[in-house]
Amino acid sequence: MGKLMAEQKEREYNRGQKAASEGRSRSWSEPWAYPFESDQHYEERREAFNQGYGIIDATPPNYNRNQSAGD
């Protein structure tokens, strides 16, 4: 599977909006990777779902665990 098609992206976006409006947990509603699906294709579907759910960037920010609290 190559790039995500517009229809697929719209479908995942709509699924995200529906899950959010119904109050469903994102972690249970988020799309799962299909067998033999490329990482890029899955990430594009996941990103479209998260945008529909209302999450702009689902990637956690970089956090330096070695930094002390007083710094």
In a domain, 27, yes or no: yes
Instruction: Report yes or no: 41 and 5 within 8 Å, Cβ to Cβ.
Output: no
Residue 68 has pLDDT above 60, yes or no: no
* pTM for this prediction: 0.67
In a domain, 58, yes or no: no
Give the model's pLDDT for residue 22.
92
In a domain, 43, yes or no: yes
In a domain, 65, yes or no: no
Total domains, the chain: 1
Question: Could you tell me which residues come within 8 angstroms of residue 8 by beta carbon, excluding any fewer than 6 positions away?
Answer: 45, 48
Q: Look at residues 44, 42, 48 and name the one whose alpha carbon lies nearest to residue 11.
A: 48
Give the tens place of pLDDT for each residue, 3-60.
778 899 999 999 999 999 999 888 888 888 889 989 999 999 999 999 999 876 655 5
In a domain, 18, yes or no: yes
Q: Look at residues 33, 37, 29, 34 and name the one whose alpha carbon lies nearest to residue 54.
A: 29
Give the model's pLDDT for residue 27.
83
Give the model's pLDDT for residue 65.
47
- Domain range for 41 is 6-53
